[in-house]
Amino acid sequence: MKEMAYVLGIDLGTSAVKVTAVNRAGQIVAQSSQEYAISNPQAGYSEQNPEDWVQKTTLAIQNLAAVEHLDLSKVEGISYSGQMHGLVLMDKNYRVLRPAILWNDTRTTAQCEEITGKLRGDFLKITRNRPLEGFTLPKILWVKENEPEIFAQTEVFLLPKDYVRFRMTGKIGMEYSDAAGTVWLDEIHKTWSKEIADKLALPLEICPPLLESTAVVGNITVAYSAISGLPAETKVIAGAADNAAGAIGAGIISEDKILSSIGTSGVVLAYEKDRKTDYAGRLHFFNHAIPDSYYSMGVTLAAGYSLSWFKQTFAGQQKFTDLVEDAKKSPIGAKGLLFTPYIVGERTPYADAQIRGSFIGMDSRQQLHDFTRAVIEGITFSFRDLLSIYRSEGKHFVTAVATGGGAKSALWMQIQADVFNMNVVSLENEQGPGLGAAMLAAVGVGWFKDLAECSETFVKYGKVYRPKANNVAKYDRIYRIYQQAYSATRPMTGDLLKLDN
Which of 322, 315, 273, 333 lies closest to 478 in space, CA to CA?
333
pLDDT at 1: 38
Between CA 259 and CA 233 the distance in angstroms is 36
353-366 b/e (C-beta count within 10 Å ≥ 16 → b):
eebbbbbbeeeeeb
Q: Which CATH number fits domain 306-345+356-386+477-496: 3.40.50.10800, 3.40.50.1820, 3.40.50.2300, 3.30.420.40?
A: 3.30.420.40
CA 232 – CA 221 distance, rounded (Å)? 6
User: Average pLDDT in the 190-207 region?
Assistant: 97
Distance CA 415, CA 344 (A): 24
- What residues are annotated to the active site? 242
Residue range 298-313: mean pLDDT, rounded? 92
Q: Are 342 and 485 in contact (CB under 8 A)?
A: no
pLDDT more than 70, % of the chain: 99
Nearest to 265 by CA among 403, 433, 450: 403
Dihedral sign computed on CA atoms, order 392, 398, 404, 405:
positive
CATH architecture of the domain with residue range 251-301+392-465:
2-Layer Sandwich (3.30)
Side chain identity at residue 246, one-letter code: G
CATH 3.30.420.40 fits 6-238, yes or no: yes
**Domain edges within the chain:** 6-238, 251-301+392-465, 306-345+356-386+477-496
| pLDDT given for residue 3 in this prediction | 58
Residues 300/383, Cβ–Cβ less than 8 Å: yes
pLDDT at 385 over 50: yes
Task: Establish whether 284 is an annotated binding residue.
Answer: no
Residue length, the chain?
501
What average pLDDT score do residues 177-186 get? 96
3-state secondary structure of 340: strand
Confidence of residue 43 (pLDDT cuts 50, 70, 90): confident
174 is in an annotated binding site: no
Q: Do β-strands 156-158 and 100-101 pair in parallel, antiparallel, or remain unpaired? A: unpaired
| Average pLDDT of the residues in 168-176 | 97
pLDDT tens by residue, 101-128: 998 888 998 999 999 999 999 999 999 9
Mean pLDDT of the chain: 94
Question: How far is residue 115's CA from residue 138's CA, in Å, rounded to a whole number?
Answer: 8
Q: pLDDT grade, residue 406 (50/70/90)? A: confident
Which of residues 140 and 494 earns the better pLDDT score? 140
